[in-house]
Amino acid sequence: MSMMFNIEWGYLEGLTRGFKNGMLKNSDYLNLTQCESLEDVMISINGTDYGNIFAGGHGEPSVGLINSRLQDRLMQQYDYILCHSSEPLTTFLEYIRYPYMIDNIAMLIAGLNNRRPMKRLLKMCHPLGLFDQLAAIELVTDLSELFDVVLIDTPIAKFIPPDMPREKLHEIDVEIVRASLYRAYLEGFHSYCRGLGGSTGEVMTNLLAFEADRRAITIAVNAIGSDIRPAHRMKMFPTCGSLPVVALDHLAFAADADKIRDVCNMYEGYGKLFDIFDRDTDGMITLEDRFLILEAKKNASSFLQQYHFGIFYSFIKLKQLECRNIVWISECISQRQTNKVNYYIPIPLDH
């Protein structure tokens, strides 16, 4: 297997490991947190592997500009890998894009509900989640048309639950739509990776099981105090995680965070994520942040093994987290809230 892997995808694996080695080090983050303006941030970024991504006319420095150029660089790296890939890696790489497509669609649905201009919304879409049919979105005037133009004839059409009523789409909470699409996506990707077998199957089913658990727990937490019934919550929980069906059932009926913590401790030990971190003295580290910290460790660990597709998935995840960190630091500097500038997610690159 290793010989065949090297012949087919060894170059791309080595390239991706090189991309990962070029990610920001602790010293780079230190330089960023000491910047006094967004212009300083951009100059600091130019001194890293990102290079001169702000070359050319860009107007006034802004957080939006920084985020856009960072995402463009990520897209360039992804496109290069995709263009030089062969099956089954090509299909695997397409699966990596689907969550961004789902997020873009959810944002467009929310925008239509709030009557926001489509042109402005399209500019806010993540580049990894762009696809050809989005070009027709400017002509859409209601959710029924969005369903026809975008959802049905797109790469994510296969993730639409058969019982999702298009005529009542405007009555469904956009987060429920997102959760339903994500569940089908995760279960489909998990099944695909399991079918690939070998190290890829082992690494990816572990990573995707964690993602499924995270979504189930997060949905349960967000549903506390809402009018979402347990049966509907169960429909949103991915079933490919480490949490067994009986645990998901308990999560669906959980009425407070303590009950969710008890379920997590009983089955997979996620309960510790609800505990207060030593550094969380002012409530700045959220449950989402704690999951991101654990996710960063898991994705960094996937680079310890060789000859598997998991490093492509993990690189995109880590790079996206790096972009998030830079944007967080930039926002703090822009808003003169430098006391919060160090609350970014640490990425363990010393694996």
Predicted pLDDT of residue 277: 45
Predicted pLDDT of residue 278: 43
Residue 348's closest CA among 310, 294, 306?
294
Give the whole-angstrom CA distance, residue 127 versus residue 72: 7
The more confident residue out of 344 and 278 is: 344
- What pTM was estimated for this model as a whole? 0.94
Phi, psi of 185 (to 5 degrees): -60, -50
Pull the structure tokens for residue 42.
């951009």
The pLDDT of residue 1 is above 90: no
Positive or negative, the CA dihedral 326, 106, 288, 282 is: positive
Buried b (16+ CB within 10 A) or exposed e, 58-77: eeebebebbbbbbbebbeeb
Phi, psi of 226 (to 5 degrees): -90, 175
Pull the structure tokens for residue 295.
């996710």
The pLDDT of residue 84 is above 70: yes
Q: Which pLDDT band, with edges at 50, 70 and 90, does 218 fall under?
A: very high
Residue 310's closest CA among 188, 196, 211, 204?
204
Give the whole-angstrom CA distance, residue 341 versus residue 328: 7
Average pLDDT of the chain is 90
Using one digit for the tens of pLDDT, what is the confidence trace for 260-317?
A: 999 998 887 798 888 754 445 455 678 899 999 999 999 999 999 999 999 999 999 9
Give the whole-angstrom CA distance, residue 257 versus residue 336: 33
Are 17 and 351 contacting, i.e. CB atoms less than 8 angstroms apart?
no
Predicted pLDDT of residue 48: 96
Mean pLDDT in residue range 50-79: 91
Predicted pLDDT of residue 255: 93
Q: Which long-range contacts (CB under 8 A, 24 or more apart) does 66-72 make?
A: 66/38, 66/41, 66/42, 66/326, 66/327, 66/330, 67/323, 67/327, 67/330, 70/323, 70/326, 70/327, 71/126, 71/127, 71/128, 71/323, 72/127
Predicted pLDDT of residue 58: 67
The pLDDT of residue 233 is above 90: yes
Positive or negative, the CA dihedral 151, 237, 215, 279 is: positive
Predicted pLDDT of residue 175: 86
Using one digit for the tens of pLDDT, what is the confidence trace for 120-170?
A: 888 889 999 998 777 677 677 777 777 776 667 778 888 988 777 665 555
Instruction: Identify the residue whose tokens are 């999702």.
Output: 164
Q: Which pLDDT band, with edges at 50, 70 and 90, does 171 fall under?
A: low
Mean pLDDT in residue range 170-176: 76
Give the whole-angstrom CA distance, residue 85 versus residue 81: 6
Mean pLDDT in residue range 81-109: 95
Pull the structure tokens for residue 132.
């050809």
- DSSP H or E run through 133: none
Are 38 and 54 contacting, i.e. CB atoms less than 8 angstroms apart?
no
Q: Which pLDDT band, with edges at 50, 70 and 90, does 208 fall under?
A: very high
Give the whole-angstrom CA distance, residue 226 versus residue 244: 24
Mean pLDDT in residue range 217-225: 94
Using one digit for the tens of pLDDT, what is the confidence trace for 15-62?
A: 999 999 999 999 999 999 999 999 999 999 999 999 999 987 667 899
Are 71 and 323 contacting, i.e. CB atoms less than 8 angstroms apart?
yes
